[in-house]
Structure 1
Amino acid sequence: MSSNISIIIADDHEVVRDGIRARLLGTSDLKILAEAKNGAEAVDLVQRHSPDVVMLDISMPVMNGLEAARKIRENKHDCKILMLSIYDATEYVQGAVKAGANGYLLKEADAREMLSAIRSVAAGGLYFSAKVAPSLMPASFAPAIDEEQSRQHSNRINGSVSATPPPADPSRICAYGLSGRERQVLQGIAGGLANKEIAEKLSISVRTVESHRLNIREKTNGGNTAHLTRIATELNLI
């Protein structure tokens, strides 16, 4: 690892970027090159600055973090990608791995863990917060791997997991990190069903449907029904 690790920070919330910057400033081996407020800006900044590490928030406008990670890999950049998120859901973690991320750090991480994560991925390793560790276990992926491969792929370090998970089954990964229930709700929305009709069809409450609908909009950066219908079409739900 070089004496200075160059970093690009991408998050749509200025207060979050400020917080990350505050944690990293004054650390002799880290250098912040630039900051982005959406995924498209992050991809452009990586192209221009070739950082060692890019820290990508998953939920961003214009282009979300997963899409940005895939674009960075498509552009053949060898920078390390450290995803940032408030979500610890399996779909998000596996989606990040599939997109080419080297690590997944929850935003609740303290400064010490954040520094450890950055240094780990910069050195060529992988870093995943402890809460998302179960998402990296063989049972969470398909095809399954044998016990010896599992031992080689997973190694718990200081309450986190440094791992090289086996390839994920694309059919089980949702590009937007939607859960199975959220995909069902999205399918209902795209089918023109009202919240009450979706609730009856799925045997859940209207309030639960409304909650899922809000989550879907946040995860997909979606707005109106037409946009959500396009997302559903993209995911082959209709």
Structure 2
Amino acid sequence: MQLVALTVGWLGLLMAIDYTKNPHLWAANRAPAAVRPSGLALWVNHLCCTGCLGEVRDALARIPWVDAHQIRAREAVRTREQAESAGPAGDYGGWIDVGLTDVTKVDFVEIDRALRDRGMVASRMEFGGPQHFRLEARVRHMCCGMCKDALSRISTLERARLGRLRWVDSVTADRAGQKVIVHARYQDPGQAVDVADLLGAFDEVGLPALSLHVLADAEPQPRVPGASVGR
């Protein structure tokens, strides 16, 4: 017993010394996990030279929630002069990484429109960061139950069967509010979802999205009938 007591005493003394000498290590253990920054990457189908890159930057820089200083091509892009003298290329596309200032303001339809107004298009919009989030789409035409039921087919479309929408967990429609909530599955660190596929799915069921925003807050809980709210 004396040996056990002596061992415990020495362990406590060593831990106290370690805490005194290295308080930052103990603080790190208590600190919550860092929030992963949200990011957006666009595959622009036509990115053959710096002239194309300039059009993309001008289009995106006008969006308030895009960090205009964080719009970068992932790989080097030819100058116009180099593109003039270059021979035929098999692929003119390239990735553009886009910084976001406020993920709650992101509207993927706004991105699509801004690029198309400049004659550009992104066939892929890979969004990542939040571990769990939802996407809220506004639609103009949801006049009957059949319209609402059509939205439930999003997870069974051909693009879903090919695995391109495997990140979609469920879809709920609010006919009165003219909105659709797409629930994403929990994401592992480093994972991203292709939102362009979802926009294409809305088009495929005949209900194009007017806007598509990120909801990363806690999901509202259903109200229990008869339950009181406050006193």
Same fold (TM over 0.5): no
Structure number with higher relative contact order (C-alpha < 8 Å, ≥ 6 residues apart): 2
Structure with greater helix share of residues: 1
TM-score (norm 2): 0.28
Structure of larger gyration radius: 2
TM-score (norm 1): 0.27
